[in-house]
Structure 1
């Protein structure tokens, strides 16, 4: 990591100092001003039915404003999420060398965006057991808008069946916790190894207190932005479990960070396994939630020349496993996740030098509140270990960041963070990373959820 320009040191110090000053001012104001019942927008409406069984769906559990409510006909609730973000990836001009020895440009960014907006309509129809959700999702950074949703029937707490757009699994972050993470987007290793969202038939349930399962049959790893005619007849599968033995919960949506301030130690242990036959047609998918099949040097597997000069891979198998563990206690949060991914069964228009590629990685995230439910500080490291036998190396990152919560809720916040990254294997305008980057990324964001 090079020497940080003095201007950016001053900017960062001023930003962090402002967060601390705002947090201290807010604490003083709370001591002087009586609490007012004026935060209903950020609190669950009591008319919203308990949706805990939908964990693992792209849902907005516990949020929303009820627009229509009839005990015989059903319920319609409106929920929304919005994010404004500034990002600066440095150094501005740089190159990297891929595993085949080719020098490539790194396309860094510095911009301010109304980055993301999501509007959800959800509820139940004629019986509270029949659930639906319809979502409009737009990402200004990619100039794209997507409409998706799901339908489901909650038979009982042990078995719930859904169909629509969801994830087969692959990491803890895709299992319904968005956007309640430490930052507004995923860390590097998580983004590299996770599954994405696609047409899925899935079931979940709580088989014992605090013990949940998820099984899924899916079209592929990521379908958003792909037409049905582009899909093959291959189907993907996913399954996983998570166990919360001490408190039988891990915060709303299984959130990251302990804003809720657990007085009893909360624990969560889980795993997820996914398998999918992927094909080159998916390169046409530029949707921000698409987990493109990338190699450990950030090259797209299905791009011509990714494994051998002039050779194009047409199909490949993806199989991955993740194992995670986390704790929460009195504002302290600690979580780690390990990943392994194997790519094999390549079909190409020429000879490729490998039969399989096995990559490993992990992250560790920790956070605490120096000012309870006002100021949160966190640190992260994540690593991706590319398959050395296939010619790949390792990537790593270190992150420091802060969240300031101006209201008595975690659903309105300002986030600031610095990422020190080396050889990023991830590349997207949606997240924090660009392929091949070695350097520093600064970001400041404000977000709202109701």
Structure 2
């Protein structure tokens, strides 16, 4: 019986792939037909009329005037024809953007992501005590920012299996600094469903939020404290990914360091020993929504489940760390918020120059009829310290963390409420956060949403101008967002 069920599932998956390929071919043919109609209409409207013969009294100038006037009228006529025909160009695919070109040479898609954020940190304490016992002023913000702008060009070239992605990343809170604009990309080759090889700027799959489901999160471009504290980031290197069996996927990556943004090649060591491995199993339905996203916007009629395990390892050098104000930065921090490379952080008179970072993460989640619940736990080891100055007081630092998030679609495809909480169990403090929020999709479709998010944080170990909280923060923050993604 089990073998029959497996065979039926495999045939069903094959039928679904065939239907998807057929739909794509139909959509492509419809797009080409629309382009041909529009081209024919434009050609007919802009074809110049025959010129009248010149008069016996030097009528060439008059002919030139009439020719220019004819072209202007033809252009106006073309606009009228195009408007009356109500023709459209290209195809829109949610998550992939607009297809603006497709030829035998390749395909070009354009997509974008951005959001307008109002951030109010007036509810945070005015001061905090840092790792060394110093009382510091908290820079509490109350402002509006076009917080992030991402522009993507992606598609294939020469061979549909040869893919490219290039993107421009604008970080508006850092305007005027060297980290305000980032340009990056990657290349990939799809051998088959089981194996895709990619190289360039890639996400280390160290936590669930780096699985590639951004921006399909519950909060707008903001992780919980535990995830942000533990995770790796974006590096330059190679990755391999694919589907091992129905419902079982893998991704592994090797790169330069935990976070490459803001780090020049001259500051990297020559080890290239950063690597990460993730396995995701979706046993009940074989999927967990588009990109295995957070929340159940799709209203699963059958119970969808996901289990994942991850391990990440890296030798981090003090010189190869990104700046504190670099977007998507990841510094190796202690649970007090100070970076491990700060002089005297682990012992008076000593400075860590190099450290071995290892981190494991496990997650489990479910979705059913608009309800979503997921938890993730972490353990991180820091050891193998290489120092200058006095000997360290520690030979190993071990931190644990956990987070949970859940949501419910109050109105299908329109209104969602969510809640989340996380905590770090660290050697230098136990910071935590908790929050609630609301998402509203006014058009009943992904692509544009309005969000309100209220959270409380206790002695945050992480933060930057791009986050709704800062290092050391204790208290309430509120942010409201208008997000667009296509």
TM (normalized to structure 2)? 0.78
Q: 2:246 aligns with which of 209, 227, 230?
A: 209
Q: 1:186 — aligned with what?
A: 223
State the 4+ residue runs in structure 1 displaced beyond 4 angstroms. Answer: 45-48
Shift of 1:103: 3.0
Q: 1:215 to 1:232 in 2, by over 3 A?
A: same
Q: 1:333 aligns with which of 369, 372, 390?
A: 372
Q: 2:480 — aligned with what?
A: 444
Where do 1:206-245 residues align within 5 Å?
A: 206-235=243-272, 236-245=274-283
Q: 1:47 to 1:429 in 2, by over 3 A?
A: farther
Structure 1 residue runs without a partner (length 5+): 1-44, 49-59
Does residue 87 in structure 1 map to residue 119 in structure 2?
yes
Does residue 158 in structure 1 map to residue 201 in structure 2?
no
Shift of 1:397: 1.2
Asked if 2 retains the 8 angstrom alpha-carbon contact of 1:244 and 1:267, the reply is yes
Does residue 256 in structure 1 map to residue 294 in structure 2?
yes
User: What are the superposed Cα offsets for residues 197-224 of structure 1, whole Å, 9 maximum, x if unpaired?
Assistant: 0102110110100100111111000011
Q: 1:431 aligns with which of 450, 467, 470?
A: 467
Shift of 1:307: 2.0
* Cα distance in 2 between the residues matched to 1:146 and 1:275: 26
Q: 1:421 — aligned with what?
A: 457
* Cα distance in 2 between the residues matched to 1:421 and 1:224: 27
Q: 2:158 — aligned with what?
A: 126
Q: 1:324 — aligned with what?
A: 363
User: What are the superposed Cα offsets for residues 411-432 of structure 1, whole Å, 9 maximum, x if unpaired?
Assistant: 2101101101111111111122
Q: 2:416 aligns with which of 363, 372, 376?
A: 376
Q: 1:92 to 1:421 in 2, by over 3 A?
A: closer
Q: 1:361 — aligned with what?
A: 401
Q: 1:407 — aligned with what?
A: 443
* Cα distance in 2 between the residues matched to 1:61 and 1:315: 43
Q: 1:273 aligns with which of 311, 325, 336?
A: 311
* Cα distance in 1 between the residues matched to 2:174 and 2:373: 32
Q: 1:62 to 1:307 in 2, by over 3 A?
A: same
* Cα distance in 2 between the residues matched to 1:81 and 1:117: 6
TM (normalized to structure 1)? 0.84
Asked if 2 retains the 8 angstrom alpha-carbon contact of 1:129 and 1:153, the reply is yes
Asked if 1 retains the 8 angstrom alpha-carbon contact of 2:374 and 2:404, the reply is yes
Does residue 346 in structure 1 map to residue 366 in structure 2?
no
Does residue 287 in structure 1 map to residue 326 in structure 2?
yes
Structure 2 residue runs without a partner (length 5+): 1-25, 30-92
Asked if 2 retains the 8 angstrom alpha-carbon contact of 1:168 and 1:200, the reply is no
Shift of 1:237: 1.1
* Cα distance in 2 between the residues matched to 1:304 and 1:103: 18
Q: 1:105 aligns with which of 102, 125, 137?
A: 137
* Cα distance in 1 between the residues matched to 2:294 and 2:124: 32
Asked if 2 retains the 8 angstrom alpha-carbon contact of 1:396 and 1:422, the reply is yes
User: What are the superposed Cα offsets for residues 219-266 of structure 1, whole Å, 9 maximum, x if unpaired?
Assistant: 000011111111001221111100111111111121111111111111
Q: 2:44 — aligned with what?
A: none
Query: Which of the pair is proportionally richer in helix?
Result: 2
User: What are the superposed Cα offsets for residues 93-149 of structure 1, whole Å, 9 maximum, x if unpaired?
Assistant: 522234443333333322110000100000011111111100101110122111111
Asked if 1 retains the 8 angstrom alpha-carbon contact of 2:131 and 2:337, the reply is no
Query: Larger relative CO (CA 8 A, sep 6+): 1 or 2?
Result: 1
Q: 1:6 — aligned with what?
A: none
* Cα distance in 1 between the residues matched to 2:355 and 2:94: 36
State the aligned residue count: 390
